[in-house]
Amino acid sequence: MEVIIRPNEAAAATLTARLIAESIQNKHDLVLGLATGRTMENVYAALAGMHKNDGLNFSACRTFNLDEYVGLPATDPNSYRSYMNSRLFNLINIDPRNTYLPDGAAEDLVEECQLYEERIEACGGIDLQLLGVGESGHIGFNEPLSALLSRTRQKALNKVTIEQNSPLFDPPSKMPRRALTMGVGTILDARRIIMLVTGSNKAQILGKAVEGPITSMISATALQLHPATIIICDEAAASKLEHKDYYNWVFSNEPEWESYR
């Protein structure tokens, strides 16, 4: 695991987008795992800008999103399909048939989760997985007590997540209480992982995720087991990290990061 601390939210999002863009340039048929939420909006805006202004080519890419709310059809404005279409897919040259999300309105949710795992496998696995982290410490919707070897499945959302996300619904009581999510094990199967974390409200949970013990109560701690994970955060989110000086020293001195400094 590497931790890169940038001065502000915009700089953290820009670096994240740049690393994703370079991965696409190096592998034109990249299989990309995607996340939703407010943290990702600047990343997707930057990627859409790179497509429009610099010709970043998504035509051969395939994408798999982490999760979707149970009971919401793709056409619902609060669905993650709607989020992805409006913030990224409709702004780039990706084939919509190559953009996958779990179907939260599927008649058989157990079968839908199994099919999702099979689709990922059929595409050769995820090359690069983008993550955020919830205030409960979840990656995807892997709430507390998610098994570290779990696969795509239905998961009940906890109180912290509902309080964090329900203001996006009108009225807030319309927010579903369950979601389909990639499992922790599914996420750890990705060849590379980038987790973007910004804001002082994420500082405490980021400290636990990066420097605390590995526990199913905080699924983000499982990233400590992954051999190629990069955590990108802003100064506000990094404020509770005990080893900030070391992380900054590595970023300032390692040759591989020279062009990003």
58/195 Cα distance (integer angstroms):
21
Q: What is the chain's mean pLDDT, rounded?
A: 97
Q: What is the pLDDT of residues 61-111, one digit of tens each?
A: 999 999 999 999 999 999 999 999 999 999 999 999 999 999 999 999 999
pLDDT tens-place string over residues 68-79: 999 999 999 999
Q: Residue 251 has what pLDDT?
A: 97
Question: pLDDT tens, 227-245?
Answer: 999 999 999 999 999 999 9
Q: How confident is the model at residue 258 (pLDDT cuts 50, 70, 90)?
A: very high
Q: What average pLDDT does the segment 128-132 reach?
A: 98
Q: Are 229 and 195 in contact (CB under 8 A)?
A: yes
Residue 153: CB atoms within 10 A of its CB come to 22
Quote the percentage of the chain above a pLDDT of 90.
Answer: 99
- pLDDT tens profile 197-216: 999 999 999 999 999 999 99
pLDDT at 171: 92
| Domains of the chain and CATH, by start | 2-189+204-254 (3.40.50.1360)
